[in-house]
Amino acid sequence: MYSYHEPHQPFVSPRPFDRMYRPQDMPLPETLDDPAGPYLARTRSERRLKPAWQWSEDDLRKMCAAYYGQVSYVDYLVGIILEALIDTDQFENTLLIVTSDHGEMLGSHGLVFKGESLYEELVNVLLLIKPAVKSH
């Protein structure tokens, strides 16, 4: 089992992943100005969701670029594991499950981070399953 922490705040990853995406190229979400999100953040007891208005558009773009860098870093690490399994002839006989605990708001619906909500951005996460093939 391999458990990774990324992508989570503070959205920091090693080089070259920390500079892989340019903040100025990051689009802002179409739902950035959705008033329902900040209302939700104020009314939830957990309060891990934060209103996006607390960050500038430049800050949100930087956050998004850093998040994507962390996702690419995890892809790289999973690639190392896959390569090791293939190189040691264990890939076919290994059950592989890759998933995540949640997504990230990144300004969608006027929110950043994660929390008590079922927005698509939080619940639509990767699930990759490769079954093991028994050897004889």
Which H helix or E strand runs over 111? strand 111-112
Domain extent listing, the chain: 17-130
Tell me how many degrees the CA angle 51-56-57 measures, rounded to the nearest 5. Answer: 100
Q: What is the pLDDT of residues 36-81, one digit of tens each?
A: 988 888 887 777 889 999 999 999 999 999 999 999 999 999 999 9
What is the rounded CA–CA span in Å between residue 115 and residue 78? 26
What is the rounded CA–CA span in Å between residue 26 and residue 60? 9
Q: What is the pLDDT of residues 100-115, one digit of tens each?
A: 999 999 999 999 998 8
